[in-house]
Structures are given as C-alpha cells and as structure tokens.
Chain A
C-alpha cells in the first residue's frame, strides 16, 4: 500500500482530532511479568493499523485492554472519544472485536449466531434479519447458514466470527491475528475483506505476526517487542530504518566458499550455510561492478540472489530474533 495515501501521524503534536484510537502509557503486568511496559498509540480514523510482534510480545493484551475485555494497570486510552476508564459502555457500543479464538456459538447455526448478535445490538427484528442475511451473503456463508457453526471449517468459522462482529456496524474493529491458522487462500480472502472494511471508512486495528500481512494491509505499523513499541511508521518508513540490501552468494563446495571468503574479506559470511553477503543498493550499475569484481578474483558462486530490504529485516533487527527468521514465515 502506498504510504502517501495515509498521512502518518506524528508523535508529540497532541492527539489529532481524527484519532480513532489513542493510548498513552498503557501498562499491564501479571504478577512479576510485565506484559505491556507503557505503550503509546495514535491511530487515525479510517486507517488500518497493524501491531506487529513475535509471540508473547503483548499484542493480544493490548487488544484486550483497548477492547474493554481487561483493564490496564495504568495509562489512558480513548476509542472514538470515549474514555476507556469512565465510559466503557460507550467504547463497547462503538467497537467490534474478533479475537484470536473463535467467538461463535458452535451449538447453534450460523444464521442463529447472526440473529443473536442482532438481538444484542437491539436491532428491530426485520432489520436484524436483513443485516444477518446480507452479511452471510457477503461472507459467502449463505449456503451453510442453516448448519450448526461447529460443523464449519476454520476459514468459515473465522468469516462467521467477523460477520458477527460487523452486525452492529462498528466504527472501530479489533482483529487479533485474523489470519493465523488459515490456509493461503483463506488468508487472501480475509485480506480482501479487511480492505473492503476500510473502504467503508471503518478503522481497523489488527495484530499479526506475519510481516507480509502488515506490509499488505497496514497504513501504519507499530512493532511490539517485550511489551514495548520499538518502532512505528509506514512500511516504507520502517524499511528505511535499516541498512540497504545485499547480494547473496551461495556455495556448495566448502573449499570454494573458503577461498571466496578470504578473497572478499570485507563481506559478512555464514560458514554453516556457505553464503556470503555483499552490501548493495540493488542498482544495475553496482550489480555489474560486483560481478566484474567476482570475475576478476575468479570466484564462481553456485547461486546469486539479490536481496532488497523488507520488513523481515526490520523486524528481526528490532526484535533481535535473527535466528528465527526462517521459522517465522
């Protein structure tokens, strides 16, 4: 998503009037364990905000606090102008929440789940039925609407869950890891659904451990690690935080790797993987000069890949988990 679409809110110039969600100094600990060590957030109305972080970073806790499920130990937060401390029912009336774990009633049908939500939003009967039918259609659930929700697949349950969240036309939607556990197709469907929500003017607060997802969807990303926000900005801004890309050479013969490594002393190498990384800005000119240089030294790698910086690099640079890089994807 181009960063120019959404003006990036700057810290320090106060709470913008258009902030859908704002928080200052949110803290939460369970016993000795500090889960949130004081986080500040400002999310402009009508944008997608991604809270990105590894497991255990405190993402879910942040969502639980902002969605009124649990109370913070300290700090202040407002959702659409309603104070989380003093007007909790006002916050609840304005938000919709789809948590990490399925929040559908498996014993009743998809349609009954939707009508239950309509009743709890105090919608008139006819309107409730109309909205339920419309959302079931929009989320491709009409055919299974009369079946018990417990018989649904993971992706269908997730869609029903989100459809239920939308019954009250919330202006701010919290999605806690909306695509975790979904297959690639369902994940892409979910992304489409989230983009549609924003085009209706809804503010979306999502958490994810997938960098790709944050890159795809979010106007603004905050990286949460160990209960602290370690970076915040658009995907482009975050990518600029770390040094540029590199050219990666991979060898299959350890002897060839050793001779190349000693010839190219200034590059970083990984002896186990037999790879060398040469810093590069990715331009054609520089690539050619690197190739010429390798030729002149008589180095022939088995594979050459060009690596431009992505959120992975930012994420692992900020969260200090480089050894888990391959596993996280």
Chain B
C-alpha cells in the first residue's frame, strides 16, 4: 500500500469511526444498558452474596473487602464481554441497511467500515471500563501495591482483550441476519465470564467443570489482570492470555473481512 493509499485508508476509517461514535453519543442507551449487567453483578456479589462468598475464598478468614478485590478484575473483563455485544448488534444493523451498499459502491477504503466499528467499540469498552472501575473504587476496591508498569500492563491487557472480543463480535454481527440474532449469537461473550474464575477460583469448582473454566479466554485474562493489580501469582496465565487475544483477534478479523468481502445478497 502506497503512502497516499494508506493516508486515504486512515482518513476513511476515521470518518467511519466518527460516524459510529456519533451513534454512540446520540443513542447512549444501548451502551448504558450493556454496562448495567457488570455493575449490577458487582453490587449484587459484594453486598448481597459478599459475606458468604468471601468466606468461601481465602480459606475462611477473608472479609468482604477481600472479595471486592477478588471480584473486580473479573468484572472488568466481563464489562468487555458485555460491551462488545453492542458492536455485534451495531454491525448487523448496519449490514441490513442500504447505507453499507452505498459505501460499497463508493471509492472508499474497503476495510474502513469494519475498522470504524472495531475502533469505536474498543473506545466504548475503555469508557465503560473507566465507569465500572470508578464504581469499584467507590465501593472500596484498591490497587495501591501495583507499580506504574503493572498499571500500564493492566491497561494494555484490557485494551488487547477488548480488541480481540470486538473482532469476534464484529464477525458475529456480520454472520447474523438481523440485530436480534446478533445479540443472541453474542450471548457467550457475557456467559463465559460466569463460568470463569471471575467470581470464584477455578480450583474450588467441581473437578469435572474445572476444564471449562480453565480452557477459555476469560480465566487466564482475569488471572493475569488480578496478578497485575493485586500482586497474585500470574504464572503461565500471562502468555496464555496474550495468546488467546492474538488468536481471537486473528480469527475475528479473518472471519469478519471474509464475510464483508463476499458479494452482498
């Protein structure tokens, strides 16, 4: 790609991004709805189940503030999973509209439509993470032991995970015939954290269930984030989390672009 073509590709992608951000700003209800579930779960697990849950982790001596510390990294990852559902819905809405057909007949950079969605979704996820993080801090979450480098790494991991899940969500949106189907197809993105180590450690789960918790992207990502923010053991989870992110990004990208480059019906 020549420098001029690259400049035009960036410009077109930026135009598409601004369109998506305009949608999000004009109609914030969808993003806010998707934010509701992680915040509700955070409050529910801390204030309603908190005493029982905290007794179950850390060998019985733990109190509720320990459980806040345990659950917040998981809920931050869950926030990513639930926010990207918005991307799946937005993409499938777009694909059912005539506007995308118009874009396809214009001399714009072909990838710009999807890139605009992906970057817009990642930015929305980051904004959502700030909100959920603020709620977490408000109810007592502290990560004072983490170094600046660990904070930076935590931020990078969240952004990378957001990018990976967004590309998967975009593929789901492309593959769905309508926004309802897209929303259904994206449900695993919000269900997977429930069966990860977000709420309880994987090794406290029934033995037959542990593989389900371990061999999925959320658990290593959550364990890595927990380690970065709270200083717990990261171990092999760091590489595993990055591998998941790279693999999901590559898969989602290939899937989405293949569907987009197909002749429309």
Interface residues of A, Cβ cutoff 8 Å to B: 67-71, 89-90, 92-93, 95, 97, 99, 101-108, 112, 116, 119-122, 148, 164-165, 168
What are the interface flags for B252-265 relative to A under an 8 Å C-beta threshold, 1 for contact and 0 otherwise? 00000000000110
Q: Is the CB of A108 within 8 A of B22?
A: yes
Closest-CB distance, A204 to chain B (whole angstroms): 16
Which residues of B lie under 8 Å from residue A93 when comparing CB positions?
107
B8 contacts the other chain (CB 8 A): yes
For this complex, 18 residue pairs linking A to B, each with C-beta atoms less than 8 Å apart, are: A69-B104, A69-B263, A89-B107, A92-B105, A93-B107, A101-B98, A101-B101, A102-B97, A103-B97, A103-B99, A104-B98, A106-B97, A107-B23, A108-B23, A112-B22, A116-B19, A120-B12, A120-B15
Q: Is the CB of B26 within 8 A of A120?
A: no
Q: Is the CB of B97 within 8 A of A120?
A: no
Which residues of A lie under 8 Å from residue B27 when comparing CB positions?
107
Q: Is the CB of B103 within 8 A of A68?
A: no
**Contacts A69-B264, A70-B264; A103 near B102 (Cβ below 8 A):** yes
Q: Is the CB of A122 within 8 A of B23?
A: no
Q: Is the CB of A103 within 8 A of B104?
A: no
Q: Can you name the residue of chain A whose Cβ is closest to the Cβ of B110?
A: A89
Docked Cα-Cα span, A294 to B202, in Å, equals: 100
Docked Cα-Cα span, A23 to B11, in Å, equals: 33
What 7 pairs between A and B have smallest CB-CB spacing? A103-B98, A103-B102, A93-B107, A92-B107, A101-B98, A119-B15, A70-B263
B106 contacts the other chain (CB 8 A): yes
B106 CB contact (under 8 Å) in A99, A101, A120: A120
Interface residues of B, Cβ cutoff 8 Å to A: 8, 11-12, 15, 18-19, 22-23, 26-27, 97-99, 101-108, 263-264
Which residues of A lie under 8 Å from residue B22 when comparing CB positions?
107-108, 112
B99 CB contact (under 8 Å) in A70, A71, A104, A119: A104
Closest-CB distance, A94 to chain B (whole angstroms): 9
Which residues of B lie under 8 Å from residue A90 when comparing CB positions?
107
Q: Can you name the residue of chain B whose Cβ is closest to the Cβ of A102?
A: B98
Given A103-B97, A103-B101, 14 additional A-B pairs, CB 8 A: A67-B105, A69-B264, A92-B107, A95-B105, A101-B101, A102-B97, A102-B98, A104-B98, A107-B26, A119-B11, A120-B103, A120-B106, A120-B108, A122-B8
Which residues of B lie under 8 Å from residue A92 when comparing CB positions?
105-107
Which residues of A lie under 8 Å from residue B15 when comparing CB positions?
116, 119-120
Q: Is the CB of B11 within 8 A of A122?
A: yes
Closest-CB distance, B114 to chain A (whole angstroms): 15
Closest-CB distance, B160 to chain A (whole angstroms): 29
Which residues of A lie under 8 Å from residue B8 when comparing CB positions?
122
